[in-house]
Amino acid sequence: MFAINHAATALLIKRKFPAAPMIWLLICVQLMEILWVLLNYVGLERTTTEPTVKSVSDIHLIFMPYSHSIASALGLAVLAWLAVAKGLRKADAGLALGAGVVSHLILDLITHAPDIALAPGMGHPKLGLGLYGAAPTAAFVVEAVYGVFCWWIYRGGRSLLAAILIFNLGNLSMLSRAVPGPEQFLAGRPMWIVTVIAFQIAVTLTLVGVLSRRRYTHD
């Protein structure tokens, strides 16, 4: 799932666990992706592309067992829970942060091609429903509706809704070969892809964090 909607998941969790600090939630919902960026930069995980990139299905996350495996996600979630629930004695916040980490895995399992391993060192099977490749238009609708749903549950302000919608619309060319976009310049440049995603993570987490301070402006 794209960065804006992972960030929006923090709104859902914050609504359920209002005492959990938003900044911690935002980091946890994107912790797996932040690790993916870092591990790509140091060469421990790898991304490739087709000769021509017209949609997200032309980008292949061919090796990411450390940041995006079932075992890694569950391990990170347990560590987050232990650090906060046991270390800081904030049980609800610990549960919220653990849920934030797992939420990233669940959303990626729905949208990704089968590229998520069970654990580091296990090449097969790899999991992912492949919504991006099988039904990209449906994926766009699902992502946009999900982002708006998170906003609605949180009861955020209009500026937060606008940010969610604008970023989802900005991803349209990545989900439709009929819509040209800047992704064409990413062919053969996997580290550009990593950098673009890192930028999206930083911007969307910041926007959701700042704009989520305005609440209860709609019924």
Could you report the per-residue pLDDT of 75-109, keeping only the tens digit for each? 999 999 999 999 999 999 999 999 999 999 999 99
81 in Cβ contact with 95 (< 8 Å): yes
Q: What is the pLDDT of residue 214?
A: 73
Cα–Cα distance, 90 to 116 (Å, whole number): 31
Q: What is the pLDDT of residue 218?
A: 45
Cα–Cα distance, 126 to 112 (Å, whole number): 11
What percent of the chain is modeled with pLDDT above 70?
98
CA-to-CA separations, 143 to 70, 78, 137, 169, in angstroms, rounded: 22, 27, 10, 10
Burial of 68 (0-12, 13-18, 19+ CB in 10 A): buried
Cα–Cα distance, 136 to 35 (Å, whole number): 26
What pTM value is reported for the model? 0.94
Could you report the per-residue pLDDT of 17-56, keeping only the tens digit for each? 999 999 999 999 999 999 999 999 999 999 999 999 999 9
Q: Domain residue spans in the chain?
A: 3-211
Could you report the per-residue pLDDT of 139-191, keeping only the tens digit for each? 999 999 999 999 999 999 999 999 999 999 999 999 998 899 999 999 999 99
165 in Cβ contact with 144 (< 8 Å): yes
